[in-house]
Amino acid sequence: MNLRDLPSIDLCLRAADDMVLQYGRPLTYRAFVWVLDEARQMAKTGEGIPTLEEVIVRANRWLRLWTDPRLLKVINATGVVLHTNLGRAPLSKAAIAAMAQAGGNYTNLEFDLATGKRGKRDDHIGHLLHTLTGAEESLVVNNCASAVLLTLSALAKGKQVLIPRSQLVEIGGGFRVPDVMKQSGAKLVEIGTTNKVNLNDQLEKYDEARNPADVISFVAHRSNFQIIGFTEEPTVAQMSVVAHQFGSILIYDLGSGAMLDTAKYGMQHEPTVVEALTDGADLVLFSGDKLLGGPQAGIVVGKRVLLDKLKKHPLARAVRADKTTLAGLAATLTHYLKDEAEREIPIWRSISATPDWIKARCEKICAWAGVGEVIPTLATVGGGSLPGETLPSWALAIRSEGLQASLALLRKREVPIVARVENNLLMIDPRCVEESDDEMIAQALREIYI
Ligand SMILES: *Cc1c(COP(=O)(O)O)cnc(C)c1O
């Protein structure tokens, strides 16, 4: 063992033209420095000196580790349409094209092409939201969580905010309505009990207030859990009547922001944005990437006087949406306007897929793969929408030893496949899989099981 036998950096670089070409000289240089340092350290503990070839192999491994993309396409074979851990809604072709166009070019984001003067970034979305929902005014921010924070900060700081105790929810990832209230400087006032809330609970608080117009009513849609049994809650329409009676307002954190009727697909009816406005909510807040099926965004629609206050608040700048989001959202909303959402927006394609179609896909994958059997199962929408609701579906079910190991092998593919286990069976539900990926799934199963 002699450290002088270690190849020099120059020698390494000269022997690694292809690496220099692929990764650039500075990074390749850094990889060799790293590997040679490591070799010197290891030599001290009695390891042998690596040859030039070994050094190159190790440097290549580091270069790949440093530069390979980590955010990958995965195939969602779980049957969960809005899988939060898998990035919620995949986008429509038109939305992807619009985002690429906006991202790769200069745009008229804040430039009025008619006058040559400064324009407003919200103008590109406002007319669409107005046409779709009838709302006077709108604002797009980073996500629904920031929409809630901005709304409460701009309108409710130092004021009382009434919220039914049954709605003091955690949305997920630590986003808790009571914490956001605190952060915004609003004073949370719970009304009613966990299971029973009635209009009198709300009325009482307005009656007790010195200045009822300064008391704000807040409704948070129960997106990810259900309360069943001995329960009661006033409707949004009833609560907004009470709020308006006292010259106050009602803010509705709707969450999912459905534009289509989920009941049409055999599920419970999820309140739509239009219904929320019709019910008298002064502001309605919802996500761009849940049932709307667009890019991550938070959308606020409602009364102009209130939205003007939101837009003037310093937080508005901190949570504003970027040009690619606005472009993708506009393309997504246009699908609704053209009544083509079910065909063009991937999550609605998944939700509206018929059991027969899914069964046929399972049978095709089953025949190609030569394993498993096709059995009925249930899919869910997920992602903080329609808790407890299921869609009748089909899956390719595989009985095997070491289910966790099989799941891991599927995740390790070049295009990782995420499946699920149910009743000791590995389940592949193609509901949320692009049909062109079916063959890739069959190939993976063949390699793992045959
Ligand atoms: C999902 C959800 C949010 C948070 O939305 P993000 O877009 O994920 O920030 C807020 N409120 C409700 C009721 C929700 O369902």
Distance 24 CA to ligand 1 centre (A): 43
Ligand 1 touching residue 255 (CB < 6 A): yes
Q: Which atom of ligand 1 is found nearest the CA of 175?
A: 4
Distance 21 CA to ligand 1 centre (A): 46
CA 175 to chain centre: 14
Question: Could you tell me what percent of the chain has a pLDDT over 70?
Answer: 99
Q: Which long-range CB contacts under 8 A does 351-354 form with residues at least 24 apart?
A: 351/81, 351/262, 351/265, 351/381, 351/391, 352/265, 353/431
CA nearest 167: which of 214, 225, 212? 225
Question: Please, which pLDDT band fits residue 211 given cuts at 50, 70 and 90?
Answer: very high
Q: Which pLDDT value is given to residue 1? A: 61
pLDDT at 450 over 90: no
Ligand 1 touching residue 221 (CB < 6 A): yes
Atom 14 of ligand 1, residue of closest alpha carbon:
255
Ligand 1 touching residue 223 (CB < 6 A): yes
pLDDT at 164 over 80: yes
pLDDT at 174 over 80: no
Distance 144 CA to ligand 1 centre (A): 5
pLDDT at 49 over 80: yes
Task: Look up residue 397 and give its amino acid.
Answer: A
**257 exposed, middle or buried (CB, 10 Å; 0-12, 13-18, 19+)?**
buried
Atom 13 of ligand 1, residue of closest alpha carbon:
255
Q: Which pLDDT value is given to residue 373? A: 97
CA nearest 293: which of 363, 341, 245? 341
Q: Which pLDDT tens digit goes with each residue over 28-38?
A: 999 999 999 99
Atom 6 of ligand 1, residue of closest alpha carbon:
144
Per-residue pLDDT, averaged over 234-258, amounts to 95
* Single pTM value for the model: 0.93
Distance 5 CA to ligand 1 centre (A): 60
Task: Give every CB contact of residue 60 below 8 A, 6+ residues apart in sequence.
Answer: 19, 31
CB 82 within 8 A of CB 291: yes
Q: Alpha-carbon distance 189 to 217, whole Å?
A: 10
Ligand 1 touching residue 298 (CB < 6 A): yes
